[in-house]
Amino acid sequence: MPSLISIRGVLNAELLRMLRDKFLIGITIYLLFVFVVIRLILSAEVAEGNKELIPHIPLIFSYFVVQIAPMIPGIIGGFLLLESREEGAVKALMVAATPLPTYLSIVNVAMFAAAFLLTLLGGAIIGVGLPPWPALCGIALAGAPAGPLFALLIAAIANNKVQAFACMKLYGLGPFLVVGAWFMPDTWQWLVAIYPPYWATKAYWVAEAGGAWLPWTLGGVITSTIWIGALRRLFLRAARK
C-alpha cells in the first residue's frame, strides 16, 4: 500500500502539470458549459411538450453524462501519463521510492474518482431525465472506470501528443456505438457489450424506465476491470521501452 506522503506527492505533481496545460483545463470547462446549455434546451423543450424530443431525452442524457463525462478525466489522465513517458519520468519511477505500478495505481484511482464525481455533477446540472439518485450513483460507479480506461488507452498506444490527439478523435467514436445500440433490439445490443461504457449506459436506460439496473452496473464494473488490467500491462510494457 502506498503511503499518504506518496499519494499526496503524486497527486500534487499531476495537479500542477494539469494546471500548466490550458487545453486540459479548457475541455473540462467546455463540458460543464455544455451541460448548462443542455439543461436550458431540454427544460424549454419539456415545458413546451415537444413530443419528438422527449422520448429521446434518456439517449441525450446518457450520451453526455454517462459516456462523455467519464471520458474527460480519461483524456486528461492519458495526456498526463503520456507526458510522463515523454519526459522519462516513468523510467525514473522504476528505481524511485514510489515505484511505477504504485504511481499508476494512484493516477488511475484519481481518474476514477474524478469520472465518478463529474458524472454526478453532470446529472445534477442537466437535471432532466434523472433516474433516482441511488441508481445514478450506481451508474456513475459503473461508468467511472472509463476514466482510467481511456487514460491507459491513450498513454499506452500514443508515443507523442500528436498521436494522442489522433487517438482521442478515434476513441471519440466509441459513444456513437452505444447511441446506435439505442435503436437496436435488445438481442443485437450485445454486439456493443464489449465496449465497457455500454453497460453503464444500459443501466441508465433500464433505471430511467424503472427496471432492474444493478446487474448492468455489475457487468460494467467486471468488463471495465478486465479492460483496465489488460491496458495497465500494455502501458507498463510501453513505459519500460
Residue type, 106: I
Per-residue pLDDT tens, the chain, 241 aa: give them.
566 666 666 666 667 666 666 777 888 888 889 999 999 988 888 878 777 888 888 999 999 999 999 999 998 888 888 887 777 666 666 555 567 778 888 888 889 999 999 999 999 999 888 888 999 999 999 999 999 999 999 988 888 888 888 888 888 888 999 999 999 988 899 989 999 999 999 999 999 888 999 999 999 999 999 999 999 999 888 877 7
Q: From CA 107, how far away is CA 241, in angstroms rounded?
A: 20
Helix ranges (DSSP H) in the chain? 4-20, 22-48, 57-61, 69-86, 89-92, 100-126, 133-143, 146-157, 161-171, 174-182, 186-189, 197-208, 214-239
Q: Tell me, what's the pLDDT at 44?
A: 86
Phi, psi of 195 (to 5 degrees): -90, 110
Check the CA dihedral 135-138-144-146 and report its sign: negative
pTM, full prediction: 0.88
88: left (phi > 0), else alpha (psi -120 to 50), else beta? left
CA dist., res. 25 & res. 217, Å (int): 29
Q: In whole angstroms, what is the distance from residue 110 CA to residue 148 CA?
A: 8
Query: Which of 107, 85, 230 lies closest to 158, judged by CA?
Result: 85
Residue that has been written with the C-alpha cell 429521446 in this structure: 56
CA distance 223 to 235: 18
**Residue 236's pLDDT is what?**
84
Q: Would you state the pLDDT for residue 92?
A: 61
Cell numbers placing 5: 506522503
3-class state of residue 93 by DSSP: helix
3-state SS, residue 172: coil
